[in-house]
């Protein structure tokens, strides 16, 4: 089965005339962090450089402003590159690669981890799973098994526990910062900066000053917005927007939903806060194209899989099919 799937992926985007039946609007690809060195995700500076070279050779890379510009059937498929979360490696690894190729992109920044020593909740859990050296952690009188064979399941349960703490997401972050081991205690500084740290205000401003790049908002704390009440939704969206505008000196009118999680309340708040468009992952409501732009995530090294996602990912998203 796997070999058949791999064969389809390799040939699916090369099929003669495939661009004629593919989406006429640009395909939006979603990246997150791209560390300098290759980690377990398979992405790294060198891998990303190959991705960009591959995309330039076979497709047309365009700025997010072209999201609604249809191409002719015979033209190359257009691609928009998007980067979520605002990790430091976006400024130090991703941006230099894009500049070397002259390729535009949009960076959606969560602002909490712009301060030294602050981390997004899921980045902290990833660091804990990857780098914690002990065999157990005590959290609220419970012993969490961190042995290699149990670590994955333990982190999954801890994730559920943290996301259930109230008030959300403040309770979750308070627990991480006051009751669990500090990330600096079990992670080397070089690794932390490459993988988990966020961009500083100066780095965000530097991206904004480059004509290739757009900076968009991605909330303050990267919560699941549908878990938030209306006041918290307004706070997460509004304070994140204001932070970016203060850092860059420019209006911020593009948004991306953290984890692709949104509902009608979230869209309404984005409109109220003055955003003109928002990127999802898989469209949920299918009522508002401007605020439910589909994207396809990129998590692996394969350029063949990348080509398949560009060719067919937007179509699969729009008809509700899963994109691997």
Query: What is the structure's pLDDT at 8?
Result: 52
Q: What is the pLDDT of residues 153-166, one digit of tens each?
A: 999 999 999 999 99
> What is the spatial distance between Cα 114 and Cα 85, in angstroms, rounded to a whole number?
11
**pLDDT band at residue 7, thresholds of 50, 70 and 90?**
very low
Distances, alpha carbon 252 to alpha carbons 96, 229, 237, 242, 294, in Å: 23, 23, 11, 8, 20
pLDDT tens profile 232-245: 999 999 999 999 99
Instruction: Please tell me whether the peptide bond between 137 and the residue prior to it is cis, using omega within 30 degrees of 0.
Output: no
- Please tell me the predicted confidence (pLDDT) of residue 38: 76
Dihedral sign of CA atoms 76, 71, 28, 249 in order: positive
3-state secondary structure of 27: strand
pLDDT band at 318 (very low <50, low <70, confident <90, very high): low
- The pLDDT of residue 23 is 81
For the segment(s) 2-116+198-318, the CATH number from 3.10.290.10, 3.20.20.370, 3.40.50.1780, 3.40.640.10 is 3.20.20.370
Domain boundaries defined on the chain? 2-116+198-318, 121-191
Mean pLDDT lowest among 6-20, 23-37, 169-183: 6-20
Q: What is the pLDDT of residues 91-114, one digit of tens each?
A: 999 999 999 999 999 999 999 999
Does pLDDT of 1 surpass 60?
no
Give pLDDT, residue 200. 98
Residue 194, both tokens: 């490459």
Q: Is the pLDDT of residue 3 over 70?
A: no
**DSSP string of 49-117, one letter each residue:** HHHHHHHHHHSEE--GGGTT-PPPTTSPPEEEEEEEE-BHHIIIIIHHHHHHHT--EEEEE-SGGGSTT
Distance, CA of 206 to CA of 223 (rounded, Å): 26
Tell me the two tokens of residue 174.
């308070």
Question: Between the CA of residue 98 and those of 34, 62, 95, 105, 207, what are the distances in Å?
Answer: 12, 12, 5, 8, 11
- Measure the CA–CA gap between 188 and 39, rounded to whole angstroms: 15
Distance of alpha carbon 283 from its chain centroid, rounded? 16
Gap between the Cα atoms of 316 and 195, Å rounded: 31
CB 90 within 8 A of CB 83: yes
Question: How much is the pLDDT for 321?
Answer: 58
């Amino acid at each position: 089965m796997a070999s058949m799937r791999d064969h389809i992926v390799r040939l699916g985007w090369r099929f003669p005339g495939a661009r004629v039946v593919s989406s006429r609007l640009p395909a939006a690809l979603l990246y997150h962090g791209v560390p300098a060195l290759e980690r377990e995700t398979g992405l790294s500076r060198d891998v990303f450089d190959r991705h960009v070279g591959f995309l330039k050779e076979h497709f047309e890379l365009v700025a997010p402003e072209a999201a609604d510009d249809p191409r002719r059937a015979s033209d190359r498929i257009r691609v928009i590159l998007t980067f979520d979360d605002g990790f430091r490696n976006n400024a130090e690894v991703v941006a230099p690669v894009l500049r070397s190729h002259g390729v535009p992109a949009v960076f959606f920044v969560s602002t909490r981890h712009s301060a030294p020593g602050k981390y997004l909740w899921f980045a902290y859990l990833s660091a804990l799973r990857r780098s914690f050296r002990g065999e157990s952690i005590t959290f609220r009188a419970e012993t969490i098994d961190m042995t290699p064979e149990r670590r994955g399941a333990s982190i999954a349960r801890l994730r559920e526990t943290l996301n259930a703490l109230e008030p959300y997401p403040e309770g979750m972050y308070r627990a991480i910062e006051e009751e669990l081991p500090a990330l600096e205690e079990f992670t080397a500084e070089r690794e932390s900066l490459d993988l988990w740290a966020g961009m500083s205000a100066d780095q965000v401003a530097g991206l904004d000053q480059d004509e290739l790049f757009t900076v968009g908002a991605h909330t303050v704390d990267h919560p699941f917005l549908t878990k938030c009440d209306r006041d918290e939704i307004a706070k997460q969206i509004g304070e994140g927007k204001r932070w970016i505008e203060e850092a860059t000196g420019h209006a911020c009118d593009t948004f991306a939903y953290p984890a692709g999680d949104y509902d009608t309340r979230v869209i309404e708040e984005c409109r109220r806060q003055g955003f003109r468009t928002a990127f999802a992952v898989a469209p949920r409501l299918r009522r508002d194209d401007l605020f439910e732009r589909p994207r396809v995530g990129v998590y692996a090294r394969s350029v063949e899989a990348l080509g398949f996602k560009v060719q067919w990912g937007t179509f699969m998203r729009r008809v509700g099919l899963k994109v691997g």
